[in-house]
Structure 1
Amino acid sequence: MTIRNGLVRCATALVIAGSVNTISPVDAIAAPEPPQLPMDDPFYAQPESLNGRAMGEVVDSRPVTLPGFSTSIPYSAWQLKYVSQNTKGTPWTTMAILLRPEEGVEPPVLYSEQLWIDSLNSRCNPSYTLRVDASGQSRSGLPSEVNNLVAALERGWTVVVPDYLGPEGEFAAGYVEGRNTLDGIRAAENFAPAGLSGTATPVLMYGYSGGSRGTEFGAELAPTYAPELNIRGVAAGGLPTDMAAAAAHMNGGPFTSINMEAAFGLDRAYPELNIASYFLDSSLKQKLTSTCYTDVVSEFAFKRVEDYTVDRIWPLAVPAVAEVVESLRAGRYGTPATPMHLASAFIDEFATVPDTDRFVADYCARGVDVTYVKYPLAEHVSAEFQDFPHAIDWLAQRLAGAPTSSTCGAPGNARIG
């Protein structure tokens, strides 16, 4: 097997593993029929009007089961339909899965994890994939991330998992990712059966890779967009801080498919850019918007975006597109008002370490309390396995009021993991 074929197989295999389900009696009684696809399920339909509705307001809910979700404690689960907004600020409804441990900590804690989605079709969102198979076998994400949810739940924390790309999958459009994450937290706090303490609820946020975007951008937006939230700590890793640099870094490698998904995600969020017009095959848009990232990762591996564009144009070189992408750089949304735990791999196929270093240095200069950890023997995926146990412990310490171990002012502004 060649190195190239090995990398392609690795890229695909990273999304396959499994676990065994344990559910509470409440969930078993409430078990629905096998889930319909979101496009066929009336629960997903947009309301005729959202006039007068507040961001984060829950407009509908239903109990759900998560087959394959393996946990040692009983819990109840719901799907929430809540109000948020798209990139341009137009209200819509999106979804979240809410998990409440039957015996949670007191006072209650809310843990928001943004699973990486990186796709344009609503069937790739957690609100659907977790209801199909929460073991990770069939969802467009890593089983390790399901294990993250289990770890948080078993600490007695209530867990919310939002569809932070929204119903139209505006992947790579940072504002929608951050806003829909924050409104998912609001929805959990607004949902009475969750038993939370409203805006007094301590909130913890975590996300890695694609999920780091909704997490970190949410932290930046929170002081102005959702200042009422009691966010105590935010942990993120594998964050592509500069989307243009990350796209160039991935182009021609095993994950070119991310670039393709991002191009059409931005096309949805910013239709005036008409990014789809730069591609030769008019059916490519339909293909990418009707599948999940994991369905196409092998097809585009080791190809270049220019292989599919008119006159081999690099879309990010188009001035109007470059201007929008620059506006979506991490750090441009605002300054977090909560301590941050940021992690990076030395060998990262998505997020370049020099860009993350500069990003962290900027945060430190702005007075953000940052704990920055770099893993010298890890690449993008394995770094999450290494960092998550440290990240969740770090988040728990924020609840306890323990002092942080900020690396701001340290040589290189980082601690080597």
Structure 2
Amino acid sequence: MSEIDHVARRRPASTQRWAGLIAATLAILSVASPAQARLPPGQDPFYQYSGNTPLRDIAPGTVLKTRTVPYHVVGFPLPIKTTQLLYRSTGQLGQPTVNVTSVIRPLLSLGRQKLISYQSFYDSLNPDDQPSYAISGGLTLGGLIPNIETALIAPFLAQGYSITIPDTQGQKANFAAGREYGMNTLDSLRATLSSSAVGLPADTKAALIGYSGGAIATEWAAELAPSYAPDMDRRIVGSSMGGVLVHPGHNLHYVDGSILWAGIMPMAIIGASRSYEVDLTPYLNDHGKMLHERLQKASIINVLGQYPGLTWASMAKPEYQSPETIPAFVEIVNDLIMSTGGTPSAPMLIRQGAAGELEGTLGNKPGIGRGDGVMIAGDVRSLALEYCARGVKVQYGQSELLSHVGAAAAWIPETLLWINDRFAGRRAPQNCAWIAPGNSLAPIPAP
């Protein structure tokens, strides 16, 4: 398979020109299409809980509001009915929250009903970039990603699957908050399967799929399901993911100074601060604080390729040139190491690229090694091996010649076939004995 690496070759100035062109196109469409009347989530009453019962007294996954909207692509409605559900969920610190999922039923479905929970890779600090807003007709630059993902879910709809698409990051856009992603996903399943408006049978099974940011939600949902949502764990037939963020502390060093992905660092700092309610700005220098302020509502589209060579050292005060010297940082990233929240019950398919050099990220850093440009192959192999040791059936594939974008192209058709087999009841494949050793996933020592 040929590598899809045009993104890596794009100059930062070119990225900015494309972003400007897309923004201008969206501005035109917002005037010309019905989407101009759609309120953003922060202003839309549908996203707000207005009941008298305190949220803490409502069970996670309970449906609080329901509405039906046409499915939109770039603001234009399609003749596909979508049911949107406001439901009770749980935040990163365990606090009661509300969230929204969008459920799409196929035009034709024969035999036993099947449900896909598709976790978007919308990766944004802006609550207006949520999939539910894009699906209901909203237009934002970051919301382009959920629109593009329509092509990824279409093959499942064509085969008769129902699809639920949760706003995995929650109402505050808590970027990279893995546990919250997972709980939002599991409670989305609860809401979808209990909703009379959706109308799925009580015995419906589900599969989880997601790439990159969607893999964060998929993996954390899979590992949290036995403890947080055992009622949903019994329904999950498998989880497929690719481009996986396993040990965030390692990834910060991996993208440090890279060409395409360095801008993800300030986004991660903002997301961690927001989700854990910790202020990390005292550790930043003036440049770091400027980026922290500028990117408060940034999408991945706003940073991809636009901060080439950015380093942690260029953002931090001299006494904090290593992030491991910051106690709050260490506590946060250790809490986000995958496999620390439990063990998945269902089989897993994991795809990871290892040609990150194609996207401008070096693969020669000690203890890190090669990755896909933003995710680290050695960490993902260790996660797979850890679950193998715990008895999970894991099928792991490493694309040596593909980067993050290219490996996604390999993962999509592989996932479709693998998911079909899980619902057909076929025996899940596993290749644990052939997975090469990876990196240590040990927590970072406290400073």
Q: Partner of 1:280 in structure 2?
A: 285
Distance 1:316 1:231, change over 3 A: same
Identity value in percent: 28
Alignment partner of 1:75: what SS? Answer: strand
310, 323, 330: which is aligned to 2:317?
310
Distance 1:14 1:362 in 2: 40
Once the two structures are TM-superposed, the CA of residue 103 in structure 1 deviates from its matched residue by: 2.0
Question: Of 103, 107, 114, which aligns to 1:109?
Answer: 114
Question: Is residue 114–residue 212 contact of structure 1 (8 Å, CA) maintained in 2?
Answer: yes
Q: How does 1:341-356 map to 2 (within 5 A)?
A: 341-347=349-355, 348-356=372-380
Distance 1:288 1:124 in 2: 14
Q: 1:295 aligns with which of 295, 302, 310?
A: 302
Q: CA–CA distance in 1 between the matches of 2:19 and 2:295?
A: 20
Q: Cα RMSD over matched residues?
A: 2.9
Q: Is the 8 A contact 1:15 1:140 kept in 2?
A: no
In 2, distance between residues paired with 1:409 and 1:206? 24
**Matched residues, number:** 395
Amino acid at match of 1:265: G
Change (3 A) 1:68 1:223: same
Q: Which runs of 5+ in 2 are unaligned?
A: 1-6, 23-33, 356-371, 439-447
The equivalent of 1:232 in structure 2 is 237
Residue 339 (structure 2) aligned to one of 331, 334, 349:
331
1:215 aligned to which of 211, 214, 218: 218
**Contact 2:128–2:143 (8 Å) recurs in 1:** no
Aligned twin of 1:205 = 208
SS of the aligned residue for 1:55 comes to coil
Q: How does 1:373-392 map to 2 (within 5 A)?
A: 373-392=397-416
Q: Does 1:194 align with 2:202?
A: no
- The answer on whether the counterparts of 2:313 and 2:321 sit within 8 Å (CA) in structure 1 is yes
Alignment map for 1:138-217 (pairs within 5 Å) = 139-141=143-145, 145-198=149-202, 200-217=203-220
Task: State the alpha-carbon separation in 2 of the partners of residues 286 and 97 from structure 1.
Answer: 31
* Cα pair distance change 1:301/1:42, threshold 3 Å: farther
Q: Residue 344 of structure 2 aligns to a residue in which SS? A: coil
- Residue 95 (1) aligns with residue 119 (2): no
2:70–2:82 contact (8 Å) kept in structure 1: yes
1:343/1:387 contact within 8 Å kept? yes
Contact between 1:264 and 1:276, CA under 8 Å: does it hold in 2? no
Return the offset for 1:235.
Answer: 0.1
Distance 1:225 1:283 in 2: 38
Letter in 1 for 2:178: G
**Aligned residue among 47, 51, 54 for 2:50:** 47
Residues 220-246 of structure 1: CA deviation (Å, up to 9, x unaligned): 000111111200010000001111111
SS at match of 1:59: strand
**Using a 3 Å threshold, how does the CA distance of structure 1 residues 11 and 141 change in structure 2: closer, same or farther?**
farther
Matching of residues 24-35 of structure 1 within 5 Å:
34-35=37-38
Distance in structure 2 (CA, Å) of the matches to 1:341 and 1:137: 31
The alpha carbon displacement at 1:411 in A equals 5.5
Q: What amino acid sits opposite 1:349 in the alignment?
A: G
Measured against aligned partners, the alpha-carbon deviations of 1:84-114 in whole angstroms (never above 9, x if no partner) come to 0111111111111111113224321110011
Query: How many angstroms does 1:74 deviate by?
Result: 5.9
> Is the 1:349–1:380 contact (alpha carbons within 8 Å) kept by the matching residues of 2?
yes
Sort the Cα spacing of 1:240 and 1:122 in 2 relative to 1 into closer, same or farther, 3 A: same
- Normalised by the length of structure 1, the TM-score is 0.86
Aligned to 2:251: 246
C-alpha deviations, 1:105-127, integer Å up to 9, x for none?
A: 43211100111122111011111
Q: How far apart are the structure 1 equivalents of 2:19 and 2:211?
A: 14
Match of 1:130 in 2: 135
1: CA distance, partners of 2:197 / 2:35: 19
Q: Is the 8 A contact 1:118 1:258 kept in 2?
A: no
Q: 1:324 to 1:39 in 2, by over 3 A?
A: same
Secondary structure, counterpart of 1:40 in structure 2: coil
Question: How many angstroms apart in 2 are the aligned matches of 1:406 and 1:11?
Answer: 40
Give the stretch that moved more between structures: 242-251 or 403-412: 403-412
The whole-number CA distance in structure 1 between the counterparts of 2:48 and 2:294 is 22
Following TM superposition, by how much is the alpha carbon of 1:205 offset from its aligned partner in structure 2, in angstroms? Answer: 0.6
Inter-partner Cα distance in structure 1 for 2:208 and 2:21: 25
Structure 1, unaligned runs of 5 or more? 18-30
Q: 1 CA distance for matches of 2:322 and 2:175?
A: 19
Change (3 A) 1:7 1:358: farther
Distance 1:4 1:137, change over 3 A: closer
- Shift in Å, 1:328: 1.2
Taking structure 1 as reference, are residues 191 and 7 closer, same or farther at Cα in structure 2, changes over 3 Å only?
Answer: farther
In structure 2, the partner of 1:270 is: 276
Distance 2:11 2:212 in 1: 18
CA distance in 1, matches of 2:177, 2:111: 36
Distance 1:183 1:378 in 2: 34
